[in-house]
């Protein structure tokens, strides 16, 4: 019911969901909050807050993140050939705001950005996990880019709660079970 | 310190993080639990549980998910050209287990898998959100594949809590803030 024609893509006849329905739906889905950092050509650091950074591959170890084209970060990543993913701790939503350009004092944050093991800029504190990616494969993804990278170094803070985001609000993980799962295909006899 | 040489990839000289460190690090990161469903050639349905399904693009509306090569799901998606992402509700961790092939009664689940608006198999109940993807772009990602799709239909259950997974345990989102953010680049004067 909330679908519109969309001119782009190889299947232009397919009606896609409209923008409002798209946003309403993804507001239901919580995601961890990370800041992607990359070095600029002039020796500075640029970063954006995102909620799309995920594990990709175990062998080789890789991570993947979707980056909005309009942030301008992807050309910098392409040039640098490396980037870091900094998963924020639950008490650092102010940093998430800062890297969303919502008016925080960025000069204040400069003190906590340090070169990582592989010299890529990383957060020194305030994270649950930091991944240093030593390469960047970039694939198109609509108005975003899919950026994957091989993980050259990883560190984590075992006692830090991760910051989550859902429906316009920050939050945290509330444990509510003890099951363990792994990814395997299962065939369901339907149809 | 926990890094090993890895032969694969264009930069074979880069030392990558070892498997144990990779897994320890991503155990820190919570993620929403979804089941990806795809029709099989013989009229059945196959699915896998994953924690990597995310929003990708708003215009056009797209989602992305990383799928383990060894699940065998990607050739089915490539053949069908469509798939669904079913984000599970917090009380459905048993379904997450079932699609991880941990011994649940899959015949029981057949009753709740129904054709969606675009005829792709979807869960009829037990979800917070269901995305029907009408296309599939497939990119390599180490031992996984990066699968993106244009969203032809989306529905959500506003009163259902989403299921999360972290450190081997299921859980839920605990709201703990009221900030709103958006993705914009911010330049930090370091270095």
Residue B94 belongs to a domain with what CATH number?
A: 2.30.110.10
B73, A28: Cβ pair inside 8 Å? no
- B181 has pLDDT over 70: no
**B142 to chain A: which residues are within 8 Å by CB?**
56-62, 150
Model pLDDT, residue B109: 78
Q: Could you tell me if residue B37 is inside a domain?
A: yes
Dist CA A95 CA A183 (whole Å): 33
CA dihedral B89, B92, B97, B98 (to 10 degrees): -110
Query: What confidence tens digit (pLDDT) does each residue in A78-98 have?
Result: 999 999 999 999 999 999 988
Query: What confidence tens digit (pLDDT) does each residue in B127-151 have?
Result: 999 999 999 999 999 999 999 999 9
B166, A180: Cβ pair inside 8 Å? no
Model pLDDT, residue A106: 66
Domain that holds residue A157: 30-172
Tell me which DSSP letter residue A71 carries: G
Query: What confidence tens digit (pLDDT) does each residue in B3-15 have?
Result: 444 444 444 568 9
A179, B151: Cβ pair inside 8 Å? no
B172, A169: Cβ pair inside 8 Å? no
**Closest among B53, B48, B27, B62 to B135, alpha carbons compared:** B62
Q: Could you tell me if residue A92 is inside a domain?
A: yes
Model pLDDT, residue B183: 44
Q: Could you tell me if residue A110 is inside a domain?
A: yes
- B123 has pLDDT over 60: yes
What are φ and ψ of residue A83, in 5° steps? -165, 170
Alpha-carbon radius of gyration of chain B: 18
Hey, of A26, A43, A101, A103, which one would you mutate to test binding to chain B, going by the most B CBs within 10 A of its CB?
A26
A99, B187: Cβ pair inside 8 Å? no
Q: Could you tell me if residue A180 is inside a domain?
A: no
- Which residues does residue B121 pair with via DSSP β-bridges, in sequence order? B115
Q: Could you tell me if residue B3 is inside a domain?
A: no
Please answer whether residues A136 and A147 qualify as being in contact, where contact means their C-beta atoms are separated by less than 8 angstroms: yes
- Beta strands B83-88 and B169-175: pairing type? unpaired
Determine the residue of chain B that is closest to A74 in CA distance.
B185
- B187 has pLDDT over 70: no
| Across B28-38, average pLDDT | 96
Distance from CA of A126 to the nearest CA of B (A): 14
Determine the residue of chain B that is closest to A24 in CA distance.
B156
| Across B73-86, average pLDDT | 97
Task: List the single residue in B146, B152, B169 with the smallest CB-CB distance to A177.
Answer: B169
pLDDT band at B113 (very low <50, low <70, confident <90, very high): very high
Model pLDDT, residue A110: 79
> Which residues, 6 or more positions from A123, have their beta carbon under 8 angstroms from its beta carbon?
A35, A37, A86, A88, A95, A112, A113, A114, A130
B183, A68: Cβ pair inside 8 Å? yes
B173, A177: Cβ pair inside 8 Å? no
Dist CA A84 CA A132 (whole Å): 5
Tell me which DSSP letter residue A14 carries: S
pLDDT band at B106 (very low <50, low <70, confident <90, very high): low
Residue appearing with tokens 């701790």: A89
What are φ and ψ of residue B26, in 5° steps? -70, -15
> Which residues, 6 or more positions from A25, have their beta carbon under 8 angstroms from its beta carbon?
A17, B129, B131, B154, B155, B156
Please answer whether residues B34 and B84 qualify as being in contact, where contact means their C-beta atoms are separated by less than 8 angstroms: no
| Across B40-48, average pLDDT | 90
Query: What confidence tens digit (pLDDT) does each residue in B167-178 have?
Result: 999 999 999 854
Distance from CA of B28 to the nearest CA of A (A): 7
| Across B40-45, average pLDDT | 88
Distance from CA of A178 to the nearest CA of B (A): 5
Distance from CA of A46 to the nearest CA of B (A): 5
Q: Which segments of chain A have a pLDDT < 50?
A: 1-11, 102-104, 178-191
Hey, of A60, A75, A83, A152, which one would you mutate to test binding to chain B, going by the most B CBs within 10 A of its CB?
A60
Q: What is the mean pLDDT of chain B?
A: 86
Whole-model pTM: value is 0.87
- Note the helical H segments in chain A: 19-26, 73-80, 93-98, 106-109
Distance from CA of B125 to the nearest CA of A (A): 15
Dist CA B179 CA A88 (whole Å): 15
Buried/exposed code over B24-58 (b: 16+ C-beta within 10 A; e: otherwise): bbbbbbbbbbbbbbbbbeeebbbbbbbbbbbbbbe
Q: Could you tell me if residue A148 is inside a domain?
A: yes
Instruction: Find out whether the peptide bond into B69 is cis, omega within 30 degrees of 0.
Output: no
Q: What is the 3-state secondary structure (H, E, C) of chain B?
A: CCEEECCCCCCCCCEEECHHHHHHHHCCCCEECEEEEEECCCCCEEEEEECCCEEEECCCCEEEEEEEHHHCHHHHHHHHCCEEEEEEECCCHHHHHHCCCCCCCHHHHHHHEEECCCCCEEECCCEEEEEEECCCEEEEECCEEEEEEEEEEEEECCCCCECEEECCEEEEEEECCCCCCCCCCEEECCC
Model pLDDT, residue B186: 46
pLDDT over 70 for what percent of chain B? 82
Please answer whether residues B3 and A154 qualify as being in contact, where contact means their C-beta atoms are separated by less than 8 angstroms: no
Q: How many domains does chain B have?
A: 1
């Amino acid at each position: 019911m909330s679908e519109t024609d969309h001119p782009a893509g190889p299947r232009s006849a397919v009606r896609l969901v409209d923008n409002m329905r798209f946003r309403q739906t993804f507001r239901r889905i919580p995601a961890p909050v990370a800041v992607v950092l990359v070095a600029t050509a002039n020796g500075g650091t640029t970063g954006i807050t995102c909620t799309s950074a995920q594990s990709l591959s175990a062998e080789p170890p890789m991570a993947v993140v979707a980056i909005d084209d309009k942030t301008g970060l992807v050309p910098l990543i392409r040039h640098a050939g490396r980037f870091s993913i900094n998963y924020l701790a639950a008490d650092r939503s102010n940093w998430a705001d800062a890297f969303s350009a919502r008016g925080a004092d960025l000069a204040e944050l400069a003190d906590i950005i340090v070169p990582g093991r592989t010299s890529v800029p990383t957060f020194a504190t305030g994270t649950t996990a930091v991944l240093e990616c030593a390469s960047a494969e970039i694939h198109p993804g609509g108005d975003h880019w899919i950026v994957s990278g091989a993980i050259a170094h990883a560190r984590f803070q075992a006692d830090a709660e991760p910051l989550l985001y859902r429906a316009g609000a920050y939050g945290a993980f509330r444990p509510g079970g003890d099951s363990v799962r792994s990814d395997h295909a299962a065939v369901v006899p339907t149809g």
